[in-house]
Structures are given as C-alpha cells and as structure tokens.
C-alpha cells in the first residue's frame, strides 16, 4: 500500500520514502486524493494519524489540511480553532 503511495514524495525514490513512513503518510494527508486519504485511515486507524499530526515537522501540512485533520481526527472540537501550525525557525 505505502509503495503505491510513494508517488506523493516525488523528489526521492520510493525506497527512501519508506524509511520514514510517517513523512509519507503526512504527505498523503496533506495532498492526497480522497480515496488515498480514506485508504490510509482504514489501514492505520485514527490514532497513528493523530500522532503524525501532533508530531509533524514544520512544512508537512498546509493550513487547509492542517485544519481538516485536526477536526477530522478529533484533536480539537469543531467549535475550537485548531492549534497553531508548527513553524520553521531560521537562525542568523
């Protein structure tokens, strides 16, 4: 299954992406098709996806998918704003 989803990390070989499946899953969560998102949810369940969301590195999610998954996975109730996205920090 994850081998097929390797196309979501197009900048490196699938084998390299499989070394860090959480990054691959986050990429599908961020830009995946509805069917691919449903497939990873069915395969892994909500808890691992919630863990990936909570420990995502800066840049893994765009605002729209960040909000969607926080609500979809019950990280926050629908009447509460999602937590701030993780931000990159640059040193001088």
Q: What is the signed CA dihedral for 57, 63, 54, 11, rounded to 10 degrees?
A: -40
Cα-to-chain-centroid distance, residue 90: 23
Q: Could you tell me the pLDDT band of residue 83, with boundaries at 50, 70 and 90?
A: very high
R_g (Cα) of the chain, nearest Å:
13
Average pLDDT over residues 65-82: 95
Domains in the chain: boundaries: 2-72
pLDDT on residue 92 = 63
pLDDT in tens, 19-48: 899 999 999 999 999 999 999 999 999 999
Q: What is the token pair recorded at 75?
A: 């990280």
């Amino acid at each position: 299954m994850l081998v097929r989803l390797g196309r979501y990390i197009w900048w490196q070989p699938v084998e390299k992406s499989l070394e860090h499946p959480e990054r691959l899953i986050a990429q599908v969560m961020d830009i995946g098709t509805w069917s691919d998102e449903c497939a990873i949810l069915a395969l892994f369940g909500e808890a691992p996806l919630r863990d990936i969301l909570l420990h995502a590195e800066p840049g893994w999610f765009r605002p729209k998918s960040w909000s969607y998954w926080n609500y979809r996975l019950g990280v926050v109730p629908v009447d509460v704003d999602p937590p701030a996205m993780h931000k990159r920090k640059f040193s001088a």
